[in-house]
Amino acid sequence: MLDDTDDIHPLFHGAPSTTEFKKLRKRLVRDTREAIDRYGMVTKGDRWLVCLSGGKDSYTLLAILTELQWRGLLPVDILACNLDQGQPGFPATVLPTFLEKMGVPHRIEYQDTYSIVIDKVPQGRTYCALCSRLRRGNLYRIAREEGCSAVVLGHHRDDILETFFLNLFHGGKLATMPPKLVNDEGDLMVLRPLAHVAEADCERFAHAMSYPIIPCDLCGSQDGLQRQQIKGMLDEWEARSPGRRGKMFSALMSARPSHLLDPSLFDFAGLSPKNRADQ
C-alpha cells in the first residue's frame, strides 16, 4: 500500500522509504480513522472545507484525509482552503503553488483581519481570541459559499489537552475542544479528525515530507501566552513520566458524571440507598 509509487496521491510523492516513516504514516492514518469513526464524522456525499494554514498540523490533516479519500475510505469531497489574513510578510504564493502542484482542489481567500486585530486588541494583550473569531467567521462564510457541510480543522490531541487545562485553570470549567460540533447557526459541522493524533507525529510527518511550513508570526511573536505555559507544563510532565499525555487524553474519553460534582449531569438529589428508596 505504501510502497507502490504508481498508486499514491501526489501529496505523498517523495515520501521516505524508511520503516520508521512507514510506521508513522500508518499510525497517522489509523488514529485519524479512529476519530472519524468514533465520533461519526462522515455522512456519505458530504463536502468538507479543509482549512490549511500552512502549519505542520494542517499539512498533516490535508495529507491524511486525502490519502483516506484516495483509498476509498473517506466518501466525501475535499476542498482545501487558506485564509490569507493580511499579516505583513505572509508568503502569499506558497500555498497556491503547493496546492496546484499537488492537484488539490482549493480556494485561497484574502481578508485583512490582521489590521482589525492590531487595532482592537490593547497593547500587551494576546491576539488569539479575536483573531480566531474573525478567522472562524470567514471560514463559515466560505463553507456556505462553496456548498460545504463541514469546516474541518487541524487541531490535534495536544491542542485538546491544552484547551482542557486552560479551561480548568483559567476558565473554571471542565471543557475542551470537541472533535465534532454544530456551529451556533446550526447549519455547519466543525470537525477535528486529528483529535487522536499526537502533535509530535504531525511535526515528524510534515518535516519528513518537506512541506513548506509557514509560521504564524502574529501570535507566535507574543511571549507569556497562557497556552504556551500549559504546553510547557505538559512537556515537563511528559519528560518525567513518558506516556502521561496519552493517559490524560484517555481520561477525557472516560468521564464519570457520578464521580464529579455537576448536578446537571447526575441526579445526586435523587440518589439514595436501595432500602430507603423502597420504603
Q: What is the pLDDT along the chain (279 residues), one digit of tens a residue?
A: 444 445 678 999 999 999 999 999 999 999 999 999 999 999 988 999 999 999 999 999 999 999 999 999 999 999 999 998 888 888 889 999 999 999 999 999 998 888 888 877 877 677 777 888 888 999 999 999 999 999 999 999 999 999 999 999 999 999 999 999 999 999 999 999 999 999 999 999 999 999 999 986 555 444 447 888 999 999 999 999 999 999 999 999 999 999 999 999 999 999 988 766 555
Give the distance, in angstroms, between the CA of residue 150 and the centroid of all CA atoms in the same chain: 13
Spatial contact of 57 and 194, defined as CB atoms under 8 Å apart: yes
**Nine cell digits for residue 55:** 502549519
- The pLDDT value recorded for residue 123 is 74
Q: Rounded CA gap, 208 and 193, in Å?
A: 21
- The pLDDT value recorded for residue 115 is 85
Q: Rounded CA gap, 142 and 93, in Å?
A: 20
- The pLDDT value recorded for residue 88 is 83
Q: What angle do CA 80, 85, 87 make, to 5 degrees?
A: 130
Of 41, 29, 19, the residue nearest 66 (C-alpha):
29
